[in-house]
Amino acid sequence: MEAAPESIIVSKGGANLVISDREGAARAIDAARLRLACRCAHCSRARLDGKFPERFDGVTITAVDSMGHYGLNITFSDGHARGIYPWSYLADLLKDLPNACS
C-alpha cells in the first residue's frame, strides 16, 4: 500500500481503523495496536528510556487526518497526536490481519 487506500473509516466508538484497498479487501486494526505502533520521537524516546507502556487498554481513535499522499496522522483518546503513519507502515501493520468483512 504505497498509495492511499480506497477508503479509511474509523469504526463507531473509535475502536478500530478500517482500511479498504483498491481490490475491495477491508482490514481493521484496533486503536490500541496503532497507539503501540506509534513511531514519533516522543514514543521512540519513551521506549529507549523504558517508560513506554506495554498496553493502551481502552484507547480509541478520536481523529484521523490525511498527511497528503504520504499517510495519516491519528489522534487518540489519551491525547496523543504526534505520530505519522505512512501508507507503507500501515500496510505492514495490516499484514496477517483477517479481512474485516469475513
| Confidence grade of residue 102 (pLDDT, cut at 50, 70, 90) | very low
Measured distance CA(24)–CA(38) in Å, rounded: 26
Q: How confident is the model at residue 25 (pLDDT cuts 50, 70, 90)?
A: confident
Cα→Cα distances 31→37, 80, 99, Å: 10, 12, 17
Give the domains, in start order, of the chain with CATH numbers. Answer: 7-94 (3.30.2020.30)
Cβ contact 1:42 at 8 Å? no
